[in-house]
Amino acid sequence: MDTQTLLRDTLNSRWDKYKSELKTCRREFSEEAVHDFRVAARRLLSLLELLREILQDPGIKKARRVMKDQLDELDELRNTQVLLADLSESIVDTPMLRPFQAHLQKKERKLLRTTRKEIKSMQTASVAKRIKQLEQAMGDLDLASLDTSLFSVVDEAFAIVMQRYALVDPSLPSTIHRVRLAFKKFRYMVEVLHPILQGFPADYLKNLHNYQSAMGDIQDMEVALQELADFNQHAPASYDPEPARSYYKERHAIALAGYIEDKGEILTFWRTAPDQPFPQEKRT
């Protein structure tokens, strides 16, 4: 498959998937439907960001903003449901978390009501218009330099990852969160280009996902600690918050230590500069 066809087919398939998941979410609103819609929206957004860099089209910015706003509206529900899913696996062994679980369940019910309304009111006309324009614009791409342009965009995205990685301070989890945000953008770009990448390991995409998840585990525990602190402000006077706080502090420490131990794996994911070989080329 040539690169131009890959980009066009990926744009069409991700746009179709986004529309389909939004339709499903409106018709059969559920936790699974919201999750699937978030995934579809995130993957379409990542492609729009990649195309913006290649086409240098300022019009993509508006469509990107629409998509970003839609995802932002779902963030709080996502965080709450992640915490509840985690609690469901450990609540038998951690009964001190039951009041916190009840708080999150109440919050989830409220968020589900508001999210259902937000899903129904989401507008896609401006994005649809931009998708059609992008299809036409891709027909005018300089095929001779397209591969070089794409790899340059990924090189730049990875360079930002490495700049932030160099500033990682285990005592400041926010520095890891900044790496995670940049790495997520890099990873989604690679997912688009993966069909034309040569010589990469069979488990390459899985390893990218696992590395991002290790940073995500730290972030999830920080969200849990913040949510717990908010709950403690309104909890009954008889409630002792320390056991629950200690539980999540320990989980946070374990997640942090796990990431720090294996953080160097990031060097195996891409070349450090455009004139340098890819990691898998060094091994051959």
Confidence of residue 136 (pLDDT cuts 50, 70, 90): confident
pLDDT in tens, 257-279: 999 999 999 999 999 998 898 88
| Pair (117, 169) in one structural domain | no
CA distances from 274 to 54, 154, 157, 167, 268 (A): 17, 10, 12, 22, 15
- pTM of the entire predicted model: 0.89
| Pair (91, 121) in one structural domain | yes
Q: What percent of the chain has pLDDT over 70?
A: 99
Check whether 182 has a pLDDT greater than 90.
Answer: yes
The DSSP H or E segment spanning 192 is helix 173-193
pLDDT in tens, 114-132: 999 999 999 888 889 889 8
| Pair (258, 207) in one structural domain | yes
| Pair (41, 19) in one structural domain | yes
How many independent structural domains does the chain possess?
2
| Pair (155, 134) in one structural domain | no
In the DSSP assignment, the letter for residue 283 is T
- Residue 2 has what pLDDT? 83
DSSP character string of 198-266 = -S--TTHHHHHHHHHHHHHHHHHHHHHHHHHHHHHHHS-TT---HHHHHHHHHHHHHHHHHHHHHGGGG
- Residue 215 has what pLDDT? 98
pLDDT in tens, 51-67: 888 887 777 888 888 88
pLDDT in tens, 202-256: 999 999 999 999 999 999 999 999 999 999 998 888 889 999 999 999 999 999 9
In the DSSP assignment, the letter for residue 171 is T
Q: Decide if 98 contacts 79 (C-beta within 8 A).
A: no
| Pair (219, 168) in one structural domain | yes
Task: Give the residue-averaged pLDDT of 169-181.
Answer: 96
- Residue 1 has what pLDDT? 65
CA-CA distance, 22 to 28, in Å (whole number)? 10
- Residue 267 has what pLDDT? 95
pLDDT in tens, 32-56: 899 999 999 999 998 998 888 888 7
Confidence of residue 281 (pLDDT cuts 50, 70, 90): confident
| Pair (84, 211) in one structural domain | no
| Pair (204, 240) in one structural domain | yes
| Pair (3, 84) in one structural domain | yes
What's the CATH number where 2 sits? 1.40.20.10
Q: Among 122, 141, 160, give the residue marking a domain's end.
A: 141
Q: What percent of the chain has pLDDT over 90?
A: 64
| Pair (41, 128) in one structural domain | yes
- Residue 284 has what pLDDT? 54
pLDDT in tens, 93-106: 999 999 999 999 99
Q: How many CB atoms lie within 10 A of CB 129?
A: 13
Q: Among 98, 114, 141, give the residue marking a domain's end.
A: 141
| Pair (18, 153) in one structural domain | no
Could you list the residue range(s) of the whole structural domain that residue 223 is in? 143-284
Q: Among 95, 116, 141, give the residue marking a domain's end.
A: 141
| Pair (3, 126) in one structural domain | yes
pLDDT in tens, 142-156: 777 888 889 999 999
